[in-house]
Every structure is written in C-alpha cells, then in structure tokens.
Amino acid sequence: MTKLTLDNVTVHYEGQPQPAVVDTSLSVASGEFVVLTGRSGCGKTSLLNVAAGLVAPAGGRASVNGLPIAEPGADRAVVFQNDALFPWLTVRDNVAFALRMRGVPEAERRDRSDAVLTQVKLEGYGDRRIWELSGGMRQRVGLARALAAEPDFLLMDEPLGALDALTRERMQTLLLDIWAASGVGVLMVTHGIEEALLLATTVFVMAPGPGRIVKRIEADFGRRYAAGEPVRSIKADAVFVLARAELADAIFEGELA
C-alpha cells in the first residue's frame, strides 16, 4: 500500500504576481480514485504536476510514503490531455517506452506491451503508426503507455477531454475496469461533472484566485460499477442525481455572485 501526499502545497510560477495554488493538501492511496475538478485556471494542472514531480512547490511538501518527490518517476506515470505520444515509434514501442528506459530486454518488452494493449482493447494494433489511429485509440495508447510502466499511481490531466461524448463514455468504463483490476491509485483532472462523480472515490473541487480546494465529496459510484452495476442504473439513481447537483453548485459557487 503506497500513499502520495501533498501537504500544504503552494505553487508560485516565476514572474507571476500571485501564487497559482496556495496551502493545498490532499492524498491518494493505492486503490483510490481521486478527481480534481473546478473552473479553468484554478490550479488543477499545477497540483497534478507537483504530484508528478514536473513542478516544484514553492511551499509545503509532496511525498510518496514519506519520501519527498524530487523529480518525475515511473512510479507516477502521467497521461496527458493531448496524448503526447511519440510518432516516430510504433504503437507497441510507445507502450514499451518505460520498459526500454529500464533496460528490459526486447522480447519481454514485446510480451508485456502486447498484454497491456489487450487490456486497453487494442490487441493487434502493435505495429500500427500513431498517426493512423483515431483520437480515442491514441488516448488508449497513452493510457497503455502509462500502465506498462506498472506505476503505483496514474496521474491523468483531462485524459478524455479531447474525445467525443460516446467515445468518452466508453473510455470512462474502461478506466474503471483497469483501475479496479490493477489497484493503482489514480489522480485525475477533469471538467466533466458526471465523469468526476462516476469515476471518483473522492472529488476535490478547486476554486481560483488563488487556487485552493473548496470542497471534498466522497463517492462510491465507481466501486458500484466495479461490483457489477450498469452505468445506466447508477446514473439514474437519485443519490447520483443529487450528488451531481451538489458538485455543480460547488464548482460554480461564487462565479455568479
């Protein structure tokens, strides 16, 4: 069981008059699915990048099991919004990238990346070129690339943001399947209110000026899906509908005032 913790983290970009995020704390443990949501510019990406080790906090502490996060590492694989795949590599070599960096031999890389490709329902696409794929397929390659690193944590910045509504719903259940099967801890940023609720075990709502967490909502809809309940019936549940209204209120609170 591993735990990623942000303690009173402040992010202040050089040359900016005020910090992007102040005094913010959260934690993600294995098996948890933590979602960050909130209006544009409230510091979600900044916070995720601190967890990834891509941005150094100006104050506070980011750590994994008590050890400070000093740089990016394959224990915290990142999935980006615009997939950030490597077009000079085939689908399989993209997926095998982390293994190659570790010096895993070719044959083993191949077996393991093909297994992960099957997990994201892309079996048989290993030899394809990135530019031959649709947006949804590319995003699945991005996910497979992160999973193949066998991370403790999966950090995702609006991974489904660029997808059409139908593809997006299928990807949500795929994410839940993989999360439930692997037991990784997930920290994900999304603008989708339903998406946040459906996937999360905990939703943090952030607000700008300066960026901070203003609300925390616990949810178990993802666990219900993993236990076999269909998405349709979850979304129709009065509890879900109420929670969705509460979350929407929290996100837009203060905006109209």
Partner 1 sequence: MTLTTGRELPITGLRPTGEPVAVWIGDADPTQDQSNQLRLRPPVSARTVSFITVAALLLAWSLAAHLQLVSPVFLPSQYAVAAKLVSVAQNGFVDATLLQHLAASLGRVFAALVVALAVGIPVGIAIGVSVVGRGIFDPILEFLRPIPPLAYLPLVIIWFGIGEPSKILVIAIAMIAPIALSAASGVRGVSQERVNAARALGASRAQVIRHVILPSSLPSILTGLRIALGAGWTTLVAAELIAATRGLGFMIQSAAQFLVTDVVIMGIFVIAGVAFVLEFVIRRLEAALVPWAGRD
Ligand X SMILES: Nc1ncnc2c1ncn2[C@@H]1O[C@H](COP(=O)(O)OP(=O)(O)OP(=O)(O)O)[C@@H](O)[C@H]1O
Separation in Å, CA 198 to CA 30, 42, 167, 213: 18, 22, 16, 20
CA gap 181, 132 in Å, rounded: 29
CA gap 198, 205 in Å, rounded: 15
CA gap 31, 54 in Å, rounded: 23
Q: Is 190 in the site for Mg ion (CB under 5 A)?
A: no
Out of 98, 193, 199, 203, name the contact with partner 1 by CB under 8 A.
Answer: 98
From ligand X, Mg ion, partner 1, none, which one binds at residue 82 (CB under 5 to 8 Å depending on kind)?
partner 1
CA gap 194, 97 in Å, rounded: 33
Angle (CA) 104-109-113 rounded to 5° is 140
Q: Is 102 in the site for partner 1 (CB under 8 A)?
A: yes
Q: Which is nearer to partner 1, 188 or 247 (CB)?
A: 188
Q: Which is nearer to Mg ion, 5 or 49 (CB)?
A: 49
Q: Is 45 in the site for Mg ion (CB under 5 A)?
A: yes
Residues contacting ligand X: total by CB under 6 A: 11
For the bound state, the minimum distance from the C-beta of residue 16 to ligand X, rounded and expressed in Å, comes to: 5
* Whether 94 contacts 77, CB under 8 Å: no
Give the SS3 label for residue 129. Answer: strand
Residues 56-95 that bind partner 1 (CB under 8 A): 71-74, 76-78, 80, 82, 84-88
Kindly provide the residue ranges of all beta strands, DSSP E only, lying in the chain, ordered along the sequence: 3-11, 21-29, 33-38, 59-64, 67-68, 76-79, 153-157, 185-189, 202-207, 212-218
Q: Is 138 in the site for partner 1 (CB under 8 A)?
A: no
Residues 32-71 that bind ligand X (CB under 6 A): 40-46
For the bound state, the minimum distance from the C-beta of residue 205 to ligand X, rounded and expressed in Å, comes to: 11
| Site map (CB under 6 A) of ligand X, residues 197-226, x = contact | --------------x---------------
Residues contacting partner 1: total by CB under 8 A: 29
Positions that interact with ligand X (CB under 6 A): 13, 16, 20, 40-46, 211
